[in-house]
Structure 1
Amino acid sequence: MSFQFEEKIPNSHRSDHHWQSVNSKESTFYYFAYGSCMCPVDLKRTLGENVSQYVIGVATLKGYRLGFYRHSLRRNCGALDIIPDANSYVEGVLYSLPWRFSDLLDEREEVPRNGYRRELVEVYNQDKFYSNVRTYVVVNKLNEELAPNDWYFEVVLRGAVTCGLSQEYCWQLFHHMYQLQQRQQLIEVKLNNPS
């Protein structure tokens, strides 16, 4: 299934001229997704149309790392955030989205309720530099990471694999989420079986 979906994602090696001609009718903004929005199928639920045509490709954000520092009330689990870290990087998906999606994206990221806030970053895609790229960071970060639930785990990993993030990064992401879930299970066992 992921192979069929991968074929629908535009080639990240294409030229800017081709990209602009495809989308010349609407003004757009760059968006770097590093969590559940990496999955175009999941993002479609929010934006109401297939967004695969707006994928530029895999991008790298230097000077940040991932962490689950938000408690998502909607999903009742930990949700991803990016934290400044000079020695790290985050891989994600770079979109060029029509401006008509801007408010819907803000709503999804709970900007009106101070869940996340917009932040402009610089990312790299195929050795090309993109500035003024929108991403979202958690406003009120938790003191320690909170495990994702199985649904969030799956949608984040599906987006990472489907959109072609590096195999090494996908494995790191998998292990990080898995370890958080294992830690959470141990805590729950201890709470349910006090000695």
Structure 2
Amino acid sequence: MINREPELCYYFAYGSCMCHVDLQRTLQEDVEPYIIGMATLTGYRFGFYYYAQHRNCGALDIVPDRDSTVHGVLYRLPARLIPALDLREHVPQGGYRHELVNVRCQDRHYFQVKTYVVVDKLPTEYPPNDWYTGVVMRGAATCNLPTAYRHQLHAHIQQLQQRQPSDLAAA
């Protein structure tokens, strides 16, 4: 009998999927064993360029920016979980799409890592609600993202949440 390891997929999460409890809710499986650790993506910055109707708020996205860095979580997921992840990210509806990126995690480089980017980006950022903010920040803390980065992310969210409703109409 041949004992084969299941096909695996490296996945870089930078938004709500950093929170393994929230990701577990979607995938219906404990994902903690699949966490490799905190990872860094260079050449991108974060932004809230997606309006998630099901959450009634802005959701994270990444955009190319050669002078920036995005921190997140690197998972090594069984490939059988990717279809459920695609549904979560609204890939069939054109919300997000796959993008292959290179990340650094625990002094190693990982190439051709799957992540998700928004297909039709909003012209301006749309603020997340308190629930989404809590999930993102909980994931960032649990996975021990750099403190300065967590503060930057939180300050950016607060700035967006203080915008006037008329500012959001343009988005």
Interval of TM-score (by shorter of Structure 1 and Structure 2)? over 0.9
Structure 1 residue 127: Cα displacement: 1.9
Q: Is it true that 1:170 corresponds to 2:150 in the alignment? A: yes
Which one of the candidate residues 16, 35, 40 is aligned to 2:15? Answer: 35
* TM-score, scaled relative to structure 1: 0.82
Q: Is it true that 1:188 corresponds to 2:165 in the alignment? A: yes
CA distance in 2, matches of 1:97, 1:128: 18
The amino acid across from 1:122 in the alignment is N
Structure 1 residue 188: Cα displacement: 3.1
Q: Is it true that 1:66 corresponds to 2:46 in the alignment? A: yes
In the alignment, which residue of structure 2 is the partner of 1:157?
A: 137
Q: Is it true that 1:143 corresponds to 2:143 in the alignment? A: no
Unaligned residue ranges in structure 2 (runs of 5+): none
What is the DSSP-based 3-state SS (H/G/I as helix, E as strand, rest coil) of the residue aligned with 2:159? helix
In the alignment, which residue of structure 2 is the partner of 1:8?
A: none
Structure 1 residue 160: Cα displacement: 0.2
What is the DSSP-based 3-state SS (H/G/I as helix, E as strand, rest coil) of the residue aligned with 1:74? coil
Rg larger in structure: 1
Report 1:58-137 matches (<5 A).
58-137=38-117
Q: Is it true that 1:57 corresponds to 2:57 in the alignment? A: no
CA distance in 2, matches of 1:99, 1:166: 29
Unaligned residue ranges in structure 1 (runs of 5+): 1-23
What is the DSSP-based 3-state SS (H/G/I as helix, E as strand, rest coil) of the residue aligned with 2:126? coil
The amino acid across from 1:172 in the alignment is Q
How many residues are paired up? 165
Over aligned residues, Cα RMSD in angstroms?
A: 1.4
What is the DSSP-based 3-state SS (H/G/I as helix, E as strand, rest coil) of the residue aligned with 1:25? coil
CA distance in 1, matches of 2:111, 2:37: 15
* TM-score, scaled relative to structure 2: 0.93
Structure 1 residue 25: Cα displacement: 2.6
What is the DSSP-based 3-state SS (H/G/I as helix, E as strand, rest coil) of the residue aligned with 1:179? helix
CA distance in 2, matches of 1:66, 1:50: 27
The amino acid across from 1:68 in the alignment is F
In the alignment, which residue of structure 2 is the partner of 1:3?
A: none
What is the DSSP-based 3-state SS (H/G/I as helix, E as strand, rest coil) of the residue aligned with 1:79? strand
CA distance in 2, matches of 1:126, 1:189: 44
CA distance in 1, matches of 2:141, 2:127: 20
